[in-house]
């Protein structure tokens, strides 16, 4: 996981992305316990998939897959501004 943690941030370069959560303090209220959660906001589902399936992240992702079990979710959400849709990619690390 050290390689992933070191190299993953650089894969976001050139992508319009906002980091909303990065393994901060958390409390699991339901379901299996987790080690942490990362949430990224992208302007569209296509933009999120372009980063997630892009070759820079594909190479780095292999290190994450070897290091832990994760659930990755692509979620369409809404903002406070009328008719403006936001898209998030959530990574949840499980023990």
Q: What CATH number has the domain bearing residue 72?
A: 3.30.70.100
The confidence score (pLDDT) of residue 71 equals 85
The confidence score (pLDDT) of residue 17 equals 94
Number of structural domains found in the chain: 1
Question: What does pTM read for this prediction?
Answer: 0.77
Report the distance separating Cα 50 and Cα 44, nearest Å: 10
Contact indicator for 90, 24 with CB cutoff of 8 Å: no
- Burial label, 59 (beta-carbon count in 10 A; 0-12, 13-18, 19+): exposed
The confidence score (pLDDT) of residue 84 equals 60
Give the three-state DSSP class for 6. Answer: helix
Terminal Cα-to-Cα distance of the chain (whole angstroms): 13
Print pLDDT tens along the chain (95 aa): 788 889 999 999 999 999 999 888 988 888 888 888 899 999 988 999 999 999 999 999 998 888 778 888 888 877 666 556 566 666 565 54
Q: Which domain holds residue 14?
A: 2-94
């Amino acid at each position: 996981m050290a390689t992933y943690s070191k190299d993953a941030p650089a894969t976001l370069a050139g992508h319009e992305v906002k980091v909303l959560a990065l393994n901060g303090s958390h409390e699991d209220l339901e379901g299996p316990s987790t080690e942490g959660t990362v949430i990224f906001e992208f302007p569209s589902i296509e933009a999120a998939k372009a980063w997630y399936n892009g070759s820079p992240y594909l190479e780095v992702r292999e290190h994450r897959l070897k290091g832990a079990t994760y659930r990755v979710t692509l979620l369409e959400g809404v903002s406070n501004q009328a008719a403006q849709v936001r898209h998030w990619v959530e990574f949840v690390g499980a023990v």
